[in-house]
Chain A
Amino acid sequence: MLSSLGSGGGKTAKPSFVSYVTPEEIKSEKEPYKKENQPDLLPGEVVFCSACPVLKYSQDDMSQRGVFGTLLCTNFRVSFVSDEVQVEETCKLFKNKLYGENDIPLACVDNIYGGYEDKKKLITGGLLKNKYPSKIIVHCKDLRVFQFSLTYSKEEDAKKIFQGIVHHCLEPKSLRCVYAFSYCENTTSPEMQRKERTMLFDCLEDWTQDMKRTKGNCRLVTENSSFELSQKLPQFFIVPLNVTDEDLVKFQGNGLPMWCWSHHSGCALFKTASLPLSQEDNVPQTYMEKMLTAVAHNHLYSVKTEDLSDTLPTIQDIQLSYNKFKQFFLIDNTTEFWMSDMKWFSSLENCGWLDMIRQCLLKAVEVVECLEKENTNVLIMEESGSDLCCVISSLVQLMLDPHYRTLLGFQSLVQKEWVAGGHAFLDRSNQLHLKEKVESQSPVFLLFLECVWQLHQQHGPAFQFSETYLTVLSDSVHVPVFATFLFNNDSHRANVLRAESPSSQRGPLNCPSVWDWSVQFDCRAQDLFTNPLYAQKTKQDRSQRKSHRPKHQRQLSLPSSAFKTPTKKGFFKDEADSLKKILGVKRISRWMLSPSSDFPPMSSIKEFYETWQAKPLDYHGMLLPCLDGPSIRVWMQRYLRWIHDVQILGGGPVAVLSKVSELLAEVQELRSELDRHARTVTSNHRGAIRTRAKTAPENLARSSVRLSSSFPFVTSRNWSFKPAIPTSMLQSLMMSEVAGDLASREDDGSEPETVV
Chain B
Amino acid sequence: CVHLNRNTFKTWVCPSLSYLWPTVGYSDQWDDLNKRFSPPLTAKDVTYICPYIGALRGTLTVTNYRLFFKCTDREPVFVLDLPLGVVSRVEKIGGASSRGEVSYGLVCKDIRNLRFAHKQMEDSLRKSIFEVLMKFAFPVSNGLPIFAFEYGQVYPENGWKVYDAQAEYKRQGLPNESWRITKVNDHYELCDTYPSTLVVPVNISDEELKRVAAFRAKGRIPVLSWIHPESQATVTRCSQPMVGVNGKRSKDDEKYLQAIMDANAQSHKLFIFDARPSVNAAANKMKGGGYESEDAYQNAELVFLDIHNIHVMRESLRKLKEVVYPNIEESHWLSNLESTHWLEHIKLILAGALRIADKVESGKTSVVVHCSDGWDRTAQLTSLAMLMLDGHYRTIRGFQVLLEKEWLSFGHRFQLRIGHGDKNHTDADRSPVFLQFIDCVWQMTRQFPAAFEFNEYFLVTTLDHLYSCLFGTFLCNSEQQRVKEVRAKTVSLWAYINSQLEEFTNPLYVNYSNHVLFPVVSMRHLELWVGYYIRWNPRMRPQEPVHQRYKELLAKRAELQKRVEELQREVTNRSASSERAGSPTRSITPVQTFV
Contact = CB atoms under 8 A, between A and B. Distances in A.
Q: Do A and B come from one complex?
A: yes
A321 B556 CA distance: 46
A695 to B, nearest CB: 12
B567 interface: yes
Interface in B310-363: 310-312, 315, 328-335, 337-338, 341, 343-344, 347-348, 351, 354-355, 357-358, 362
Interface in B277-323: 277-280, 283, 286-287, 294, 301-306, 308-312, 315
Contacts of A354: 334
B355 A725 contact: yes
Contacts of A634: 524
A646 interface: yes
A457 to B, nearest CB: 9
Contact of B308 (A459, A743, A751): A743
B372 A747 contact: yes
B265 interface: no
B447 A648 contact: yes
A662 B508 CA distance: 11
B540 A631 contact: yes
Q: Which of A533, A692, A709, A722 has the most CB of B within 10 A?
A: A533
Contacts of B331: 355
B567 A681 contact: yes
B524 A742 contact: no
A444 B404 CA distance: 54
A344 B335 CA distance: 9
A692 B561 CA distance: 12
B311 A745 contact: yes
B338 to A, nearest CB: 4
Contacts of B556: 667
A662 B592 CA distance: 11
Interface in A620-657: 626-631, 633-634, 636, 640, 645-653, 655-656
Contacts of B525: 636, 646, 648
A253 B258 CA distance: 85
Nearest to A735: B277
A671 B561 CA distance: 9
B322 to A, nearest CB: 14
Given A346-B338, A673-B564, A723 B354 contact: yes
A341 B448 contact: no
Contacts of B24: none
A735 B591 CA distance: 56
Given A4-B302, A645-B520, A677-B568, A535 B328 contact: no
Contacts of A4: 294, 301-302
Interface in B467-518: 508, 510, 512, 515, 517-518
Given A646-B520, A660-B550, A742 B312 contact: yes
A751 B556 CA distance: 61
A681 B362 contact: no
B334 A680 contact: no
Contact of B448 (A349, A650, A685, A749): A650
B545 A646 contact: no
A670 B448 contact: no
Given A645-B520, A729-B348, A734-B344, A742 B541 contact: no
B524 A341 contact: yes
Interface stretch (B62-70, B205-213, B569-577): B569-577
Contacts of B373: 747-748
Contacts of B510: 655, 659, 704
A716 B375 CA distance: 38
Contacts, number: 297
Interface in A716-745: 721-726, 729-732, 734-735, 738-739, 742-745
B515 A680 contact: no
B546 A629 contact: no
Q: Which of B277, B429, B586 has the most CB of A within 10 A?
A: B277
B77 interface: no
B541 A533 contact: no
Contacts of A358: 330
A726 B525 CA distance: 13
Interface in A438-491: 458-461
B301 A2 contact: yes
A693 interface: no
B308 A749 contact: no
B550 A628 contact: no
Contacts of A338: 522
Nearest to B338: A345
A703 B371 CA distance: 39
Q: How large is the interface on B (under 10, 10 to 19, 20 to 34, 35 or more residues)?
A: 35 or more
Given A5-B304, A659-B550, A749-B429, A610 B333 contact: no
A667 B553 contact: yes
Contacts of B184: none
A42 interface: no
Contacts of A674: 560, 563-564, 567
A754 interface: yes
A705 interface: yes
B304 A7 contact: yes
Contacts of B549: 460-461, 533, 535, 660
A702 B287 CA distance: 56
Contacts of B305: 6
A685 B515 contact: no
Given A630-B530, A726-B347, A663 B554 contact: yes
A724 B447 CA distance: 14
Interface string A1-17: 01011111000000000
A572 to B, nearest CB: 35
Contacts of A67: none
B557 interface: yes
Interface in B78-101: none
Nearest to B445: A651
A297 B338 CA distance: 52
B28 interface: no
Contact of A721 (B347, B518, B563): B518
A726 B515 contact: no
8 contacts: A346-B334, A636-B524, A648-B525, A652-B447, A723-B354, A723-B519, A726-B351, A743-B312
Q: Which 10 A-B pairs have the closest CB atoms?
A: A749-B428, A629-B333, A723-B518, A670-B560, A349-B334, A344-B523, A345-B338, A651-B448, A6-B303, A730-B306
Interface of B: 2, 277-280, 283, 286-287, 294, 301-306, 308-312, 315, 328-335, 337-338, 341, 343-344, 347-348, 351, 354-355, 357-358, 362, 371-373, 376, 427-430, 447-451, 508, 510, 512, 515, 517-525, 527-528, 530, 534, 537-541, 543, 545-546, 548-550, 552-554, 556-557, 560-561, 563-564, 567-568, 570-571, 574-575, 578-579, 582, 585-586, 588-589, 591, 594
Given A6-B306, A648-B525, A659-B510, 6 more contacts: A630-B540, A650-B451, A660-B549, A723-B518, A743-B308, A755-B283
